[in-house]
Structure 1
Amino acid sequence: MNNLQTDCYHVIKVFNNNVLLVHQNGEEKILFSKGIGFGKHQGDMLPTDTKADKVFTMQNQNNFNSFKNLISSVDSNIIGLCEEVISMISDELKEPLNEKIHVSLTDHISYTIKRLMENNIIENPFLVETETLYKREFSIAKKAVMMLEERLNIMIPDEEVGFITLHIHSARNEGKLSNTIKYAFLSNTIIEFLEDELNIEIDKQSLDYARFLTHIRFAIERILNNNPIKNDLIAAIKKQYKVSYNLAERVSEIIENELFLNVVEDETAYIAIHIEKFRNAPKKN
């Protein structure tokens, strides 16, 4: 617990009963604690013996400006609820999150709520891939959706769990949401390509599927970081798995066209091994 024994906190905005935006010593901070906002109003000063579970200060000026814009355009209760969700996520992971999540996730959730209120359909083509790649984050995202449903009294589709998962994963990786989405997009594109070419439906619950997506995820990271993998069995794989290797070359082309980077032959050979497993898997009834 943080004991607020320094200069008084001046209340700027009351988001809800549990979250306040305050000013102290030239800094704006978010205070989070159950009941801390009850009965508070803009301009109030918090007593020096007030306690808060969490005190958060945004360090990046761009993030701070974006958050201020959100405050002026999004309902205060939604912002407060999103801050409670973010606090829960951090507690579940037992680690700090990139501060950008206070902007990106809040903006996303507020827009989603608006769409749901307007009865718009939410689609997520990466849902299965996201759950497979980021199991821990997906489980926490489910809890986040349950919080939102309970507090807002609305039904939120499973597709939204996938989107929140991506934001959580991004917040654990320096806020790089674009790379997180890139993994999911590429994985989805590759799976659809292989299903069409092999004329099969890949079992999304299988261990082979999970292993393949994990390989693609780390393959993308290796390619982006110019850290090529070594494969001493290229010649044998080409000879033994001709069909799968040809498909792997086309998968590598998909990756190259998306990343604008070269995929080494060693990587292609490993992809071929995974494709061969799909080719030989029992057909789904």
Structure 2
Amino acid sequence: MKQVLTIQKVLNNNVVIAHNDVYKEVVLIGNGLGFNRKKGDSVPFDQADKTFLLKDEKEMEQYVNLLPYIEEKLIAFIQELLLFIEEKMDKELNEHIHVALTDHIAFAINRAKKDIQFSNPFLFEIESLYPKEYLVAKDVVQKIEERTGVFFPEGEVGFIALHIHSAVTDKSLRDIKRYHSLLSQLVEIIENNLDIQLDKNNIDYHRLIQHLHRAIDRADKGTIISEENKLAAMLKSEYPVCYNLAWKLIKVMQNQLNKPVDESEVMYLTIHLQRLTHKF
């Protein structure tokens, strides 16, 4: 049976606030959804495949407050982009991306028009850690440039990739940025302690940040990995500098995440660090 909602308020041609017994008050978003409609009219929930539903009360409030500052055409276009992202990622997007990405793209366009440049210090790491999200974000930026004639700096691809990653993993953007900030801190500690400048194009750097990211994620989730006592003893004996540095990194993770980190992580970090010194 079709779910039918009653319109409470038409915000614009593409956005309406509606109500039914199941969803209570919700925001429905879709191309032309509010056109020629008024309060009291019925609207089928599945009227168009370009319809999104915002059920979370906080997300709904933020989205409604955001709308007056954005052109209607842009709101409809961003819905197209969200459908494109969902199709390319082949995953349902968390509804928070409607607020976050709408806000980000609208103000990114304004920044670009005023030639205000924002650097993205994690651009390489984002591309390395989230390759699929990064490629989709590149396509999104290209679509924006083709539609609006406004050209974004390269760093915007990274920011949009983070929004996509947040939406498909249900991780908050705040947590993702916290991970990246910690990752950057760990890389700086490695460079200072080993007295080296890491080459971001080197495969060993790629492997290191992949591992550090997984280690941070495991620590945050409290995941335990298997312990190899013999291997740990060998690494401590053969590569004391890297082994001690690995422990230092673990302690930084523990302090920043405020959670214990599985001691077995030391072994794998030691191996990655040793590779960086080209002696393993």
Instruction: Output the TM-score relative to the length of structure 2.
Output: 0.85
What is the Cα deviation at residue 211 of structure 1? 2.0
Give yes or no for the alignment of 1:140 onto 2:139: no
Distance 1:59 1:236, change over 3 A: same
Give yes or no for the alignment of 1:85 onto 2:85: no
Residue-pair matches, total? 271
SS at match of 1:52: coil
Equivalent residue number for residue 268 of structure 1: 266
Distance 1:110 1:216, change over 3 A: same
User: In structure 2, what is the Cα distance between the partners aligned to 1:220 and 1:164?
Assistant: 22
User: In structure 1, what is the Cα distance between the partners aligned to 2:5 and 2:220?
Assistant: 47
1:255 is matched with which residue: 243, 253, 266?
253
What is the Cα deviation at residue 24 of structure 1? 4.9
What is the Cα deviation at residue 210 of structure 1? 2.3
What is the Cα deviation at residue 259 of structure 1? 0.9
Counterparts of 1:1-285 in structure 2 under 5 Å?
Answer: 12-14=10-12, 20-26=14-20, 27-32=26-31, 36=32, 40=35, 43=38, 52-232=48-228, 233-280=231-278
1:190 corresponds to which letter in structure 2? L
Instruction: Output the TM-score relative to the length of structure 1.
Output: 0.83
SS at match of 2:169: coil
User: In structure 2, what is the Cα distance between the partners aligned to 1:256 and 1:47?
Assistant: 51
Distance 1:166 1:7, change over 3 A: closer
Indicate if the aligned counterparts of 2:5 and 2:42 stay in contact, CA closer than 8 A: no
User: In structure 2, what is the Cα distance between the partners aligned to 1:47 and 1:191?
Assistant: 53
User: In structure 2, what is the Cα distance between the partners aligned to 1:229 and 1:67?
Assistant: 41
Runs of 4+, deviation exceeding 3 Å: 4-11, 22-28, 40-48
5+ long unaligned stretches in structure 2: 21-25
What is the Cα deviation at residue 275 of structure 1? 0.5
Indicate if the aligned counterparts of 2:222 and 2:260 stay in contact, CA closer than 8 A: no
Deviation sequence 1:77-100 (CA, Å, 0-9, x none)? 332222221111001112210000
Equivalent residue number for residue 23 of structure 2: none
User: In structure 2, what is the Cα distance between the partners aligned to 1:151 and 1:37?
Assistant: 21
2:142 corresponds to which letter in structure 1? M
Deviation sequence 1:31-63 (CA, Å, 0-9, x none)? 24xxx479x467497999x96223221111111
1:246 corresponds to which letter in structure 2? N
Over the aligned positions, Cα root-mean-square deviation in angstroms equals: 2.9
